[in-house]
Amino acid sequence: MNKENFYLEILHVDKKTKARYGILHTPHGDVETPMFMPVGTVGSVKTLSPEEVKACGSGVILANTYHIHLRPGEDIVDKAGGIQKFMNYPGPMLTDSGGFQVFSLAEKRNITEEGVTFKSHLNGDKIFFSPEIVMDIEQKIGADIAMSLDECIKYPATYDYVKDSTLRTLRWAKRGIAVHTRKDQALFGIVQGGEYPDLRKYCAEELVKMDFDGYAIGGTSIGEPKDVCFKMIDYAVDYLPFDKPRYLMGVGSLDYILEGIARGIDMMDCVLPTRIARHGTLMTHFGRVNIKNEKYKEDFTPLDPECDCYTCKNYTKAYLRHLYVVNEAFGQRLLSIHNIRFLISIVEGAREAIKEDRFEEYKNEILAKYGDKRGF
């Protein structure tokens, strides 16, 4: 597809790993890679304004095709001039295909060659998604990057099931490409194949033949062991083009982000940082902090002295705990700002380490200092 206004410029590859530094050029501006992308499920990163997300250093942020289709509807977003104008975010955006929401929210779903039928999590109404319908929705939403419809395969699954599903995902990819006509919107294919190396390889190679603008690695971070997730990435990356973006879907913990970068991933996203923030869990350079803990009641020090976010520069643990205990919305906002900025700053450091050929040392240093094997 190779759109002139969307391309990845790789500027340096780390000498010891597959980590790479580059610039992603998009219709709404240029952003550095690798990057962590905050998730704005319904056209908003929960509790934060677009200006606050931008101040955290965000490049691309996500909106969710399924949720926006339900509310307010893609036609309204289209009439507003596209998702950026609708939500007043000046930077690049990405919409997913809704495939993960079908997997995670729909209790009963019927997958056929034509598409997937499932029920709305809001009111039980029947919904049908096909590759063509999803492309129509995403083109009306108008983000810089759209994703092909795929099946997010559960883990574990048998080889035969994964094979059949992967082949269907490839057929859906062809159908989606055939109806994608926006010249100002890139389209990514999604590599499936479960934990089976031959299926991952085959899926990646077949998607590359279709010449997508970028490639995502799907079906990871859905409950599989950490080593299996990393193998899934390895099984796909080697067969993807060097000069196109590689997107690891649904990854937001510190260890997964850094291990993804080490394997040549350019883009990652997750709701994790804002979700755990709303429940009082913070990621810091020195490990996890549970702000609900009584010991912070009279702690008048910053949440993370090494963090440069608005929260850490202006508020103490005692005040943040107070806001959380009294269920003040401002507290959720401050905690979300911190977690988003923390992850983005870690990836900013990774970019500098790649340019200086010391990414492996940087990764090990960050993880050793953090000290939590779960990464959040």
Catalytic center residues: 96, 269
Burial class (CB in 10 A: 0-12, 13-18, 19+), 154: middle
CA distance 175 to 190: 13
Residue pair 59/93 in contact (Cβ under 8 Å)? The answer is no
Question: Rounded to an integer, what distance in angstroms lies between the CA atom of residue 53 and that of residue 84?
Answer: 13
- State the Cα–Cα distance between residues 340 and 100, nearest whole angstrom: 22
Quick check: 149 and 176 in contact, CB under 8 A?
Answer: yes
- Token pair, residue 299, equals 């702690």
The whole-angstrom separation of Cα 184 and Cα 249 is 22
Tokens 């299926």 found at = 199
Note whether 47 and 335 are within 8 A (CB).
no
DSSP 364: H
CA distance 267 to 145: 12
**Residue 186, SS3 per DSSP:** strand
Distance CA 93, CA 341 (A): 18
CA–CA separation, 187 vs 203, rounded Å?
16
Strand partners, 186: 145
